[in-house]
């Protein structure tokens, strides 16, 4: 067993909010040495619960990039880094002296990743990169809606998909660098990331089939139902074999030849689909949710209870896959949170430590850069660093 | 140069998550060969979905239930750098294509598994689909609200994290191999993805309270951060995040008085009187078209966006100008518009290599590349070990 695949890789994380920081955390826990650079006012998301997750496994320095000496520190760090991540609004990184033009000149081997709302070019490139603005323009809310109106999505999807795309793309660029010796700019946008997550719908050709939609699921054999106790479970008869087993398990083998179910499981056409849904709704009201789940699971019929996220954290399968980790957060106590989602068997990643306090490693990082104690004290006094 | 040119991926995946890993690698230049059974990947059932998920690949049909079919697959593995699969744990073992067995053929293979629930643990062998993970992981309840009708997300949430985290894992293993010369086993699962997608919610500790803000008919977070409908029936998203947005909004809708109204003067007051404010804004926005409101609010500096329909996306000038799409000529479906490579690289951009293949479209071609002679291949076909699509 060796250290994580990215051990020895130095990442400079100028990210704020979620996308940049989360990307950097994912790299840190596959071995990279990540330094988070915060501005004097701090990452605005320090107040969010998730900050301790998105920013664990990193060291941090607080620098005022509006001051010339602060910019020099940032540039010195970049000159010694392999990866730089930023998710400022388009143009801001340049104005702070850490734009791609400047940094690639200092360090042609650096992989420079910009995460933005809409990308650096095009009519939308100046729009603010908020989750809701991206989701609206990407058609996400209208797609989620049914009947006549759109629906808001609670989870910040575009933000998260962008972080995953950035982690993949940065690592890909590092592979390229092994062969060419050169870095490059990698542009990741929340828009393109959420479009990719809609890849099965964002296809157009003559005769394309657009699926009907509804809140509990699109199809009668692939949707949520309630038991007699009002609790919900999801039935996912994803192929004919499962449909067959389902009919046998519930004692209705005759459905296999019933014209009402023709086309099962995916092609039960309207208006029969509504009929089947009504029939199953009634059928499932005979027993409690847990009784149905147990009965169906015993015969390998795909089903699952609707649970809360809190319940998921107690799920033995989640725990067995090391996805619940207990981290000691100074001043906050022990906090259970996500584990490492990608597992490499030989180059094992690890969680390196809790999210740092503001400026926790400023002195250490500046000392490593070659600044004398006197200089560091002066810069603190002049509010160039904290 | 494409990032992963000269990397061959043997793709044994089906459906979405696993298949998407290989598509991501194909976009980066890898030679992805999709191995399907005679009946094909069940995902082929919905043409558009299959096209969006599997473009970039070549496809061959091998009957892996037969010994000789497996031997043909092993010949493919001899020239492969990576194997990707997403079957239930134990399935690959049954056909002799588990990691330990494949290592005997190709010691430095990178072997990527994307099972639904992970390969360890009490429920590893249960059948897995994205909605089951949406159900178990709290994503459905988080969207619809506790005790409410659970809401199925139209985006296949976890099935779409899988391809990206799986590709991340593949890239990590490739990076490591460039330095160490060694392959390894890589795993991610829909289960892990369901956790990763809830990074800010999957937290428990003293003093940490998670609030479920889901609702069956949820339109946003509050009166100034939500979807609104205009006179033409179209919807747009209003997003005030700063005090100055609120001021500008009131001015823009001709209701400057609201800023002095004690019910709405401060953020706290607006929270308290959210319902009343929503009603006022709903009525205001009904007075003209969405196409008018969006530029008015934009000019006033208030973040706002049209809520687009799927059909609108294909013609959106930003998307066309920034090459979000590629256009392909598909032998069955004619002209197809679908998504281009997701991320952009200044030196080594990726490329969509080809249209989503027909079942067994490249069997002849690939087998010949592997060194089989034409007569051998015809013999394999006669014995139904492999299938080539009609040309």
Å between A234 CA and nearest CA of chain B: 6
Is the minimum CB–CB distance between A234 and chain B shorter than 8 Å? yes
3-state secondary structure of A289: helix
- CATH no. of A10-199+317-381: 3.40.50.10540
Q: Return the pLDDT at A1.
A: 54
Are residues B21 and B112 in contact, defined by beta-carbon separation less than 8 angstroms?
yes
Superfamily of the domain at A222-306? formyl-coa transferase, domain 3 (3.30.1540.10)
The CATH-assigned architecture of domain B8-198+345-387 is 3-Layer(aba) Sandwich (3.40)
User: What distance in Å separates the CA atoms of residue A62 and residue A50, rounded to the nearest whole number?
Assistant: 20
Residues of chain B in contact with residue A319, where contact means CB-CB under 8 angstroms, are: 121
Classify residue B38 by burial, with Cβ atoms within 10 Å: 0-12, 13-18, 19+: middle
CB atoms near residue B90 (< 10 Å): 12
Write out the E strands in B188-306.
Answer: 204-205, 220-222, 225-229, 235-239, 304-306
Q: What is the ipTM, given to two decimal places?
A: 0.97
Nearest chain A residue (CA) to B16 = A200
Element (H, E) at A324: strand A324-329
Residues of chain A in contact with residue B146, where contact means CB-CB under 8 angstroms, are: 308
Residues of chain A in contact with residue B158, where contact means CB-CB under 8 angstroms, are: none
Å between B254 CA and nearest CA of chain A: 24
**A345: closest CA among B98, B110, B7, B8?**
B110
Is the minimum CB–CB distance between B164 and chain A shorter than 8 Å? yes
Is the minimum CB–CB distance between B281 and chain A shorter than 8 Å? no
Beta bridge partners of B185: B111
First to last CA, chain B: 31
Domain boundary assignment for chain B? 8-198+345-387, 220-311
Å between A367 CA and nearest CA of chain B: 30
Domain boundary assignment for chain A? 10-199+317-381, 222-306
User: What distance in Å separates the CA atoms of residue A51 and residue A22, rounded to the nearest whole number?
Assistant: 9
CB contact under 8 A, B123 and A317: yes
**Please, what sign has the CA dihedral across residues B360, B365, B369, B370?**
positive
The pLDDT profile of chain A, 386 residues, written as one tens digit per residue, is: 568 999 999 999 999 999 999 999 999 999 999 999 999 999 999 999 999 999 999 999 999 999 999 999 999 999 999 999 999 998 999 999 999 999 999 999 999 999 999 999 999 999 999 999 999 999 999 999 976 789 999 999 999 999 999 999 999 999 999 999 999 999 999 999 999 999 999 999 999 988 777 777 678 999 999 999 999 999 999 889 999 999 999 999 999 999 999 988 888 887 888 899 999 999 999 999 999 999 999 999 999 999 999 999 999 999 999 999 999 999 999 999 999 999 999 999 999 999 999 999 999 999 999 999 999 999 999 999 99
Is the minimum CB–CB distance between B49 and chain A shorter than 8 Å? yes
Contacts of A384 (CB under 8 A, 6+ apart): A63, A64, A67, A69, A70, A73
Å between B379 CA and nearest CA of chain A: 32
The CATH-assigned architecture of domain B220-311 is 2-Layer Sandwich (3.30)
Q: Return the pLDDT at A3.
A: 84
Beta bridge partners of A2: A347
pTM of the model as a whole = 0.97
Q: Return the pLDDT at B391.
A: 82
Length of chain B in residues, anyone? 391
The pLDDT profile of chain B, 391 residues, written as one tens digit per residue, is: 999 999 999 999 999 999 999 999 999 999 999 999 999 999 998 899 999 999 999 999 999 999 999 999 999 999 999 999 999 999 999 999 999 999 999 999 999 999 999 999 999 999 999 999 999 999 999 999 999 999 999 999 999 999 999 999 999 999 999 999 999 999 999 999 999 999 999 999 998 988 999 999 999 999 999 999 999 999 999 999 999 999 999 999 999 999 999 999 999 999 999 999 999 999 999 999 999 999 999 999 999 999 999 999 999 999 999 999 999 999 999 999 999 999 999 999 999 999 999 999 999 999 999 999 999 999 999 999 999 999 8
């Amino acid at each position: 067993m060796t250290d994580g695949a990215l051990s020895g890789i130095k990442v400079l994380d100028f990210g704020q909010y979620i996308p940049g920081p989360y990307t950097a955390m994912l790299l840190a826990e596959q071995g990279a040495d990540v330094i988070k650079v915060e501005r004097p006012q701090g990452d605005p998301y320090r107040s969010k619960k998730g900050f301790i997750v998105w920013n664990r496994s990193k060291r941090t320095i607080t620098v005022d990039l509006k001051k010339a000496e602060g910019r020099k520190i940032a540039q010195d760090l970049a000159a010694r880094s392999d990866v730089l991540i930023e998710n400022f609004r388009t143009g801001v990184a340049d104005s702070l002296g850490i734009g791609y033009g400047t940094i690639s000149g200092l360090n042609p081997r650096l992989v420079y990743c910009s995460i933005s709302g809409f990308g650096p070019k095009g009519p939308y490139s100046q729009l603010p990169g908020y989750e809701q603005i991206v989701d609206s323009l990407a058609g996400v809310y209208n797609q989620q809606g049914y009947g006549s109106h759109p629906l808001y999505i609670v989870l910040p999807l575009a933000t998260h998909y962008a972080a995953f795309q950035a982690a993949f793309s940065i690592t890909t660029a590092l592979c390229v660098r092994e062969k060419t010796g050169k870095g490059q700019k990698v542009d990741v946008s929340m828009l393109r990331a959420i479009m990719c997550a809609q890849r099965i719908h964002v296809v157009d050709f003559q005769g394309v089939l657009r699926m009907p939609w509804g809140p509990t699921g699109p199809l009668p054999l692939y949707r949520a139902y309630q038991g007699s106790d009002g609790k919900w479970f999801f039935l996912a008869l994803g192929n004919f074999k499962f449909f067959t087993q389902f009919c046998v398990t519930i004692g209705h083998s005759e459905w296999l030849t019933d014209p009402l179910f023709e086309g099962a499981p995916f092609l039960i056409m309207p208006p029969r689909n509504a009929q089947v849904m009504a029939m199953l709704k009634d059928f499932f009201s005979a027993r409690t949710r847990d009784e149905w789940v147990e009965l169906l699971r015993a015969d390998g019929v795909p089903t699952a209870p609707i649970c809360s996220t809190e319940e998921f954290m107690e799920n033995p399968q989640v725990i067995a896959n090391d996805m619940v980790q207990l981290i000691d957060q100074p001043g906050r106590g022990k906090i259970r949170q996500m584990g490492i989602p990608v597992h490499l068997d030989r180059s094992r990643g690890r969680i390196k430590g809790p999210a740092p306090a503001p400026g926790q490693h400023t002195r250490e990082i500046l000392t490593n850069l070659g600044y004398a104690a006197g200089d560091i004290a002066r810069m603190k006094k002049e509010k160039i660093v904290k | 140069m494409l990032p992963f040119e000269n990397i061959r991926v043997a793709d044994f995946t089906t459906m979405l998550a696993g298949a998407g890993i290989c598509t991501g690698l194909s976009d980066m230049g890898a030679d992805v060969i999709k191995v399907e059974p005679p009946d094909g990947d069940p995902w082929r059932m919905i043409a558009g979905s299959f096209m969006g998920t599997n473009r970039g690949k070549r496809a061959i049909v091998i009957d892996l239930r037969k010994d000789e079919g497996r031997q043909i697959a092993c010949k493919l593995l001899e020239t492969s750098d990576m194997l990707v699969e997403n079957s239930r744990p134990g399935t690959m073992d049954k056909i002799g294509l588990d990691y330990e067995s494949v290592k005997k053929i190709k010691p430095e293979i990178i072997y990527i598994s994307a099972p639904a629930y992970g390969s360890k643990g009490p429920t590893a062998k249960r059948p897995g689909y994205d909605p089951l993970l949406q159900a178990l992981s709290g994503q459905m309840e988080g969207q619809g609200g506790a005790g409410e009708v659970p809401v199925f997300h139209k985006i296949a949430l976890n099935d779409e994290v899988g391809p990206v985290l799986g590709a991340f894992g593949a890239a990590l293993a490739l990076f490591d191999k460039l330095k160490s010369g060694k392959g390894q086993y890589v795993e991610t699962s829909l289960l892990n993805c369901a956790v990763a997608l809830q990074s800010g919610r999957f937290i428990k500790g003293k003093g940490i309270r998670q609030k479920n803000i889901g609702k069956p008919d949820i339109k946003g977070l509050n009166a100034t951060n939500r979807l609104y409908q205009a006179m033409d029936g179209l919807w747009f998203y209003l997003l005030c995040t700063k005090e100055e947005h609120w001021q500008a909004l009131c001015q823009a809708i001709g209701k400057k008085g609201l800023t002095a109204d004690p019910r709405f003067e401060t953020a706290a007051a607006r929270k308290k009187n959210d319902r009343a404010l929503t009603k006022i804004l709903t009525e205001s926005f009904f007075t003209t078209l969405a196409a008018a409101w969006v530029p008015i609010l934009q000019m006033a500096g208030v973040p706002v966006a049209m809520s687009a329909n799927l059909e609108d996306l294909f013609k959106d000038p930003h998307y066309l100008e920034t090459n979000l799409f590629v256009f392909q000529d598909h032998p069955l479906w004619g002209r197809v518009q679908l998504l281009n490579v997701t991320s952009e690289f200044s030196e080594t951009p990726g490329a969509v290599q080809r249209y989503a293949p027909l079942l067994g479209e490249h069997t002849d071609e690939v087998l010949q590349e592997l060194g089989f002679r034409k007569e051998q291949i015809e013999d394999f076909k006669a014995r139904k070990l492999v299938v080539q699509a009609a040309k």
